[in-house]
Each structure stands twice: as C-alpha cells, then as structure tokens.
Amino acid sequence: MPFSESGGWYNFRGSFNSAFLRAITASLPTWMTTARVYFDYPEAGVLPPAFAVTHIGPRERAVAGGYIVRGNPVTSGVEMQVITDVSCWVSRQSGTADNPSWSRDLLQMRDMVKFWANRNRWLSAWDIYSGTASPPQLSRIIRLEPGIEEQDWVGEPNPALARHRMLIKWRYVETW
C-alpha cells in the first residue's frame, strides 16, 4: 500500500494550490488570454502575466496541553501556521514598446488574488496523495486568516517587469 497521510503538509499545500489555480483561471480579465501560475520557486524565468505562489512554513503551534486536538477518539496533533507569498508579475513592455497598461494589469491581478483570499475564509482539504486529477475530499479544512499583507510596488532589478507581492496567512491542524 502506498504511503498516505491525510493530515500531512503535502495534502494541505496541494489543496491550497489547487483551489488557487481553479479560482484564478476561472474568470480572466479580457486582456489576459491565459493565467500562468508558478508554484514553489520556479527555476525557469517567469513569463508574464503570471502569478507565483510560494509557501513559507509550515510552523508548528501547540493548541492544547499534551497536543490533544480532538476528544473522541483522542487525537494528537498541532496547529500548523503557513504564510504564502503570492506575487503578480506583468511586463512593462509590449514587444519593443512600452506597455502603457502595465499598472492597470498589475492592479487587476492583485484584485483577483485579494478577492479570492477574502471571499474564501476556509478551503476544503483534499487527499492529494491519491492523485491530483480527482482526489477525494478529506474531513479537514484550511482556514485563511483575515487580512492580506501587501508590499507596495517597487522597481525590480529587471526594469521590463513589475511585481506586486502579497502575503496570505493560513492554518490547519496536522494530526498524528
């Protein structure tokens, strides 16, 4: 039997990524023909317009004495806290000319992410261990915390690109 752990990080990270990808690609602005979403430090260059999603964490936080997270039957575990960096990338150039719409494009992408995160205070967790095509739903949830930290737009080392960075905080209970 292959290894599987319903309360493990792989399932929660995969569930977050899957929910984000489905939501972002479901309804695109008219100027965006496709939404590229890169996960976890892409090694190849990012081709804008694009979203880059990188998880920082998880970090453990004990929720009760003895690490008891559920009573009947007694289940041990911890609350795991995660920060996810979502960066929106656009090109400030269109071919050899300047892209006059880059600021609008960047703000619309920001709004897409912010709307998704604020509208979804919790996400279903899926058994990604069993596959990504149609994984079964687990009886666990991901809780997104209110408020998104944003970094004001700053210039990038590559002047042809612009980036808007957001930090989404979320948590889940990992059991043993």
Residue span of the structural domain in which 145 resides? 9-60+83-170
Whether 123 is covered by a domain: the verdict is: yes
Kindly calculate the radius of gyration of the chain based on its CA atoms and give it in whole angstroms: 18
Does residue 153 contact residue 102 with C-beta atoms inside 8 Å? no
Whether 111 is covered by a domain: the verdict is: yes
CB atoms within 10 A of CB 99: 17
Read off the pLDDT of residues 21-72 as tens digits, 9 standing for 90 and up: 999 999 899 999 988 999 987 667 788 999 999 999 899 886 766 677 766 6
Whether 3 is covered by a domain: the verdict is: no
Whether 176 is covered by a domain: the verdict is: no
Single-letter code of the amino acid located at 97: A
3-class SS at 125? strand
Whether 160 is covered by a domain: the verdict is: yes
Read off the pLDDT of residues 62-97 as tens digits, 9 standing for 90 and up: 676 667 776 667 777 888 999 999 999 999 887 767
Asked if residue 164 has pLDDT above 90, the reply is: yes
In which region does residue 140 sit, left (phi positive, over 0), alpha (psi from -120 to 50) or beta (all else)? beta
| pLDDT score of 3 | 65
Asked if residue 176 has pLDDT above 90, the reply is: no
Whether 42 is covered by a domain: the verdict is: yes
Helix residue spans in the chain (DSSP H)? 9-26, 102-119
- How many domains is the chain partitioned into structurally? 1
Report the CATH number that the domain containing residue 159 is assigned in CATH: 3.30.70
Whether 72 is covered by a domain: the verdict is: no
- Residue 125 makes CB contacts below 8 A (sequence gap 6+) with 11, 12, 15, 137, 138, 140, 141, 142, 172
Whether 78 is covered by a domain: the verdict is: no
